Amino acid sequence: MKELLSQKVLQLKPSGIRKFFDVANEIPGVISLGVGEPDFATPYHIREAGIRAMQSGKTFYTANSGLYNLREEICNYTERQIGLTYNPNNEILVTVGGSEAIDIALRTIINPSDEILYIEPSFVSYLPCIVMADGIPVPIELKAENQFRLTGKQLEDVITQRSKVLILSYPNNPTGAIMEKSNLMELAEVIKKHNLLVISDEIYSELTYGKEHVSIASLPGMKDRTILINGFSKNFAMTGWRLGYVFAHKEIMEQMTKVHQYAIMCAPTVSQYAAIEAMKNGEQDAAYMRESYNQRRRYLYHELNRLGLPCFEPEGAFYMFPDIREFGMSSEEFAMDLLDQEKVAVVPGSAFGESGEGFIRISYAYSIDELKEALMRIERYLQKKREAGK
Amino acid sequence: MESSLSEQILKVLENNSRLTNQEIAIMLGVSEEKVHMKIADLESTHIICGYHTLIDWDKVGYEDVTAFVELRVTPQGGDGYQKLAEKIKEFPQVVTLYLMSGAYDFLVMVRGKNLKEISLFVSGKLASIEEVQSTTTHFTLTKYKELGVDFDMGRPDERMVVTP
């Protein structure tokens, strides 16, 4: 059968997470710290707005770019949050999650053999989406000692004549890193100098701790060259609703809308109505969830230190990315062994690109009690390993 | 808007009073000593009024009966309601007591071994208080939720075990 299939797709590696999921899912009594979504259910007033939409028969397609009312509310919200003004008529598109936005943005801008720069470790979709759109992926390896931030120098070093776009994702999954304004300023200079575009995936923008989120699009001269992606999944605990959005210059947007129109038609209508409520009245919910994540973040960070696992202190999202190199195992071996011995599921760092090797991703979108139980098991596991290694 | 440390401690304890001072200190990013002092202060000023356990007694087959009793009393001047409340809350059968707006004055939550015990208490003790004009007793049948906690088995984690 394979000879009938696309070479490009055949050559894609299946997601490392998928493989791990298949194993973990079969083990009874497993306690998971492997989930990349909030533990909160969608706030009830937002669910109610979805229910009302269904009850009143809002079951039709919407405009390709989304309900006008929603686009307008997203623009208002974005203006309040990061001070950027976008035109709801021609600079925004409502998508099926942030994931669709990544895909269509890449498909809209890539010509074959364009080089696409992206940071690593990072979300699992960038590389395959670049490949599917015929781009040449150019990973930029981030370092724990730089707090997993990208420097202007690192960027400058990989730029060639064929470089087209830089994909940024801060706050970052899986490292929990953020970029501060000064870091972004440094990048912006390089980006402008080499006339690059930016795809900035800011899906965790509400989840920073102690420092305000800064969008690269808000820096001087950057708005027009930035495709800004955000969504409802993480900020409003709406993963299953599949709803995101993307802002871009109207000339980019016009082309991107075609891809969306032919591939998707429009984002789910009921989800769009619920999202209007999230934009209008959801800021309290986001603040509440942020405070709760922050408590768990402090707790988990303290505990990882106590267990002697070197870990960079994350300032965003809901992940920690500790270093497990002292055990001399690959991150996949480590995660499999931990699962087998203590029934704790974490995600091997290598699932987020080669530079994630030697690390594991631990999610703290879990209650303190669940974290406690999992940490007790991890502690037991580490002790055994360390004793065996002596 | 950052809430005060006291407020943050209260919110954390309200959800889980079994956390140690050390754990709370870590979660809030302050010293353990500070947490200890704040809690001692909150206890001594009776802002923290107790640490209890929410139990669904039905599940252990405890045949306890709970009733809500509405009390209508003769209109009170000055600190009349306060005095009356002090009288009512002394009964060990009274679990909760509120002064209400609306059609009646006090709402009294009463717990007893069976219907008869509660009925006798209401007629014998509450109704016989001089200022009480009338009582209406409602017995609870099923408890679904108390103090924000669902008495169902709790919602299982419906997320997949591992996701990107």
| Cβ pair B161:A32 closer than 8 A | yes
Q: Which residues contact residue A336 at a Cβ distance below 8 angstroms, ignoring those fewer than 6 apart? A: A20, A23
The candidate with the shortest Cα–Cα distance to A363, out of A41, A30, A36, is A36
CATH number (1.10.10.10, 3.40.50.2300, 3.40.50.1010, 1.10.287.3510) of B5-44 reads: 1.10.10.10
Q: What does R_g of chain B's alpha carbons equal in angstroms? A: 21
Q: To the nearest whole angstrom, how far is the Cα of A292 from the nearest Cα of chain B? A: 9
Q: Write out the two tokens for A150.
A: 């990208």
Cis before residue A121, ω within 30 degrees of 0? Answer: yes
Q: Does the beta carbon of B61 lie under 8 angstroms from any beta carbon of chain A?
A: no
| Cβ pair B162:A37 closer than 8 A | no
Domains of chain A from N-terminus onward: 2-42+284-385 (3.90.1150.10), 44-281 (3.40.640.10)
Rounded Cα gap, residues A241 and A50, in angstroms: 10
Domain boundaries, chain B: 5-44, 57-146
The candidate with the shortest Cα–Cα distance to B31, out of A365, A372, A297, A302, is A302
| Cβ pair B162:A35 closer than 8 A | yes
Rounded Cα gap, residues A122 and A153, in angstroms: 19
* DSSP secondary structure letters along A135-161: -EEEEEE--GGGTTPPPHHHHHHH--T
Contacts of B160 in chain A (CB under 8 A): 21, 25, 35
With tokens 């099926």, the residue in question is A96
Judge contact between A200 and A218, C-beta under 8 A.
no
Q: Does the beta carbon of B28 lie under 8 angstroms from any beta carbon of chain A?
A: yes
User: What average pLDDT does the segment B114-120 reach?
Assistant: 96
pLDDT reported for residue B2: 56
Q: Write out the two tokens for A171.
A: 């706050």
CATH architecture of B57-146: 2-Layer Sandwich (3.30)
Pairs of CB atoms within 8 A across A/B = 61
Judge contact between A155 and A140, C-beta under 8 A.
yes
How do the residues of chain A divide into helix, strand and coil, expressed in percent and rounded to 5? 50, 15, 40
pLDDT truncated to tens, each residue of chain A (390 aa)? 999 999 999 999 888 788 888 888 899 999 999 999 999 999 999 999 999 999 999 999 999 999 999 999 999 999 999 999 999 999 999 999 999 999 999 999 999 999 999 999 999 999 999 999 999 999 999 999 999 999 999 999 999 999 999 999 999 999 999 999 999 999 999 999 999 999 999 999 999 999 999 999 999 999 999 999 999 999 999 999 999 999 999 999 999 999 999 999 999 999 999 999 999 999 999 999 999 999 999 999 999 999 999 999 999 999 999 999 999 999 999 999 999 999 999 999 999 999 999 999 999 999 999 999 999 999 999 999 999 987
User: Could you read off the pLDDT of B29-53 as tens digits, one per residue?
Assistant: 999 999 999 999 999 999 999 999 9
